[in-house]
Amino acid sequence: MQVLVIGPGGREHALAWCLAKSPQVSQVYVAPGNYGTQSEPGVTNIALEVNDHASLIDFVKHKNIELTIVGPEQPIAEGIRDQFDMHDLKCFAPSQAAGQLESSKSFAKAFMQRHNIPTARAFVTSDICEAIAHLEDVTLPVVLKADGLAAGKGVVISTTRGAAMETAENMLSGQAFGQAGRKIVIEEFLVGEEASFIVMTDGKVAVPFASSQDHKPVFDGDEGPNTGGMGAYSPAPVLTSAIEAQVMERIVNPTIQGMAIEGNPFQGFLYVGLMISDCEPYVVEFNCRFGDPEAQPVLYRLKSDLAAMCELALGDGLVGTELEFDSNCTVAVVLASGGYPGNYQTGLRISGLNQTQQHTKIFHAGTRSNGEGEVLTSGGRVLAVLGAGKSTVQAIDRAYARAQAIQWKDMHFRSDIGSKALGR
């Protein structure tokens, strides 16, 4: 079978690498991919952008591709699954309607309230006077969220009433996030430890992946502005098997059932961003896709055939199936461009990629070839360097030892990825 992965980043490199291992898969295409996907055996890049749905559909028809997997949220929010359906092409991603769990935070919040799914209490408004009145007597800190997609930047935590009101004004006026901020969710601040729990679902049954934990703030100790994720590890010991069972029972299963009952069956990867507060799980956010960088440490451990599971999800169903993971721990450290998540330079030559070290793997995110055998930076998050080991400590040591050899001008990374797992 031939498979197409849509997306440019580290998550898509991990998906493509994982799919290429399947004995059923003869060829993986990635649109547009990066230097890492292009260098992977059995994987070929194809120069099509993620939002060019018509050309992607033409390519899939032309090559007789049997399965397409969508990496990022944008094409899902723009209805790529619905368009593939119209052409009778198999696409593992939720429909535009089901994707509202991520593309509209007010939709997700109202859905969770209707189905008694544990999440922070919230107030939704499009009106600045209402927002100000609500903020007058809300408990601090308070969380303000732009309703629509804002490239991971649409959440602001305010510790003073004045700052919260200013943020509300900036969002609702359209100044901060354009149309995405014209409606906001004002939410209670949850205290606890975050974790990522990802499942794949056929719309009726959900099958969980191994747990993981992201590191969103740019600097060590969770300081500084949020990024797309500076590193992740798997498993996340904060998600004990008892808490995982609660997450399935109180969150994942009611979500899948609720979406189906409401006429928006959710097929695809469902990412539940959790806050574990006093050993109880609460939903911080839903994403309608695999996490990035969570995909790298989670998929590295996957022993099951991902392509076969996606086919089942779109066909006979996932009932009675499960995903198997090896017992290793994995840690992926993101190497980022100087200045990221703010402005950064691209086109810088990366050295040290060719050294090999056992039990490590480099997943590329923002890289490209200069056509002369050199690898150049082309994004904010450039590489995720993964180490695997019998313990998280060993995985951390291996990842950082491998990262040490890699260099480009102004590169930076966090030095504490995985450390939260060590205390447990």
231 near ligand GLY, judged by CB under 6 A:
no
- 155 binds ligand AMP per the rule CB under 6 A: yes
Q: DSSP secondary structure string, 251-278? A: IIHHHHHHHHHTT----EEEEEEEEEET
- Alpha-carbon span 35 to 37, nearest angstrom: 6
Q: Does 227 bind ligand GLY (CB under 6 A)?
A: no
Strands 91-92 and 67-70: parallel
Q: Which does 143 bind (CB under 5 to 8 A by kind): ligand GLY, ligand AMP, none?
A: ligand AMP
Contact call for residue 284 and ligand AMP (CB under 6 A):
yes
Residue 155 near which of ligand AMP, ligand GLY, none (CB within 5-8 Å, type-dependent): ligand AMP
Stretch that binds ligand AMP, among 12-20, 31-39, 88-96, 182-190 (CB under 6 A): 182-190
Smallest distance, Å, CB 214 to ligand AMP? 7
First and final C-alpha spacing in the chain: 43
Window 266-305: contact mask with ligand GLY (x via CB under 6 A): ---------------------x---xx-x-----------
Residues 6+ apart with CB under 8 A from 301: 210, 234, 325, 326, 328, 330, 388
> Closest approach of Cβ 365 to ligand GLY, in Å?
12
Among 40, 82, 147, 187, contact with ligand AMP (rule: CB under 6 A): 187
Q: Smallest distance, Å, CB 415 to ligand GLY? A: 19
- Among positive and negative, which fits the CA dihedral 236, 238, 242, 243? negative
Q: How far is the CB of 323 from ligand AMP (least distance, A)?
A: 24
- Separation of CA 18 from chain center: 16
CA 305-328-308 angle, 5° bins: 5
Task: Kindly state the smallest distance separating residue 23's Cβ from ligand GLY, in Å.
Answer: 29
**SS3 call for 416:** coil
**Residue in 12, 194, 202, 214 binding ligand GLY, rule: CB under 6 A:** 214
b/e 313-331 (16+ beta carbons within 10 angstroms → b) = bbeeebeebebebeebbbb
Residue 33 DSSP SS3 = coil
Does 73 interact with ligand AMP (rule: CB under 6 A)? no
Q: Compute, in degrees rounded to 10, the torsion defined by CA atoms 177, 182, 187, 192.
A: -20
Q: Which does 190 bind (CB under 5 to 8 A by kind): ligand GLY, ligand AMP, none?
A: ligand AMP
Question: Nearer to ligand AMP by C-beta: 145 or 420?
Answer: 145
The label of the residue with tokens 């904060």 reads 238
Residue with tokens 């050295």: 351
Give dist(CA 187, CA 193) in Å, integer.
Answer: 17
33 binds, among ligand AMP, ligand GLY, none (CB under 5 to 8 A by kind): none
State the minimum distance, in angstroms, from the CB of residue 73 to ligand GLY: 8
Please classify residue 47 by burial: count the beta carbons closer than 10 Å to its beta carbon, then call 0-12 exposed, 13-18 middle and 19+ buried: exposed
331 phi/psi in degrees, rounded to 5: -135, 125
287 touches which of ligand AMP, ligand GLY, none (CB within 5 to 8 A by kind)?
Answer: ligand GLY
The residue ranges of DSSP E strands in 288-357, in sequence order, are: 329-336
By the rule CB under 6 A, 216 interacts with ligand AMP: yes
Closest to 198 in 3D by CA, of 235, 229, 146: 235
Distance (Å, rounded) from C-alpha 29 to C-alpha 64? 12
Which of 76-84, 185-193, 360-368, 405-413 is the region at the interface with ligand AMP (rule: CB under 6 A)?
Answer: 185-193
Query: Which range of residues in 16-24, 107-115, 186-194, 335-343 is near ligand AMP by CB under 6 A?
Result: 186-194
Binding of residue 187 to ligand GLY (CB under 6 A): no
272 touching ligand AMP, by CB under 6 A: no
Q: How far is the CB of 127 from ligand GLY (least distance, A)?
A: 29
194 vs 292 by CB, closer to ligand AMP: 194
How many residues touch ligand GLY under the rule CB under 6 A: the total is 6
Q: Is 194 in the site for ligand GLY (CB under 6 A)?
A: no
> For the chain, how big is the Rg over CA atoms in Å?
21
Q: How many CA atoms lie within 13 A of 407 on its CB side?
A: 5
Which residues here bind ligand AMP, judged by CB under 6 A? 120, 143, 145, 155, 187, 189-190, 194, 216, 273, 284-285
Which residues here bind ligand GLY, judged by CB under 6 A? 214, 229, 287, 291-292, 294
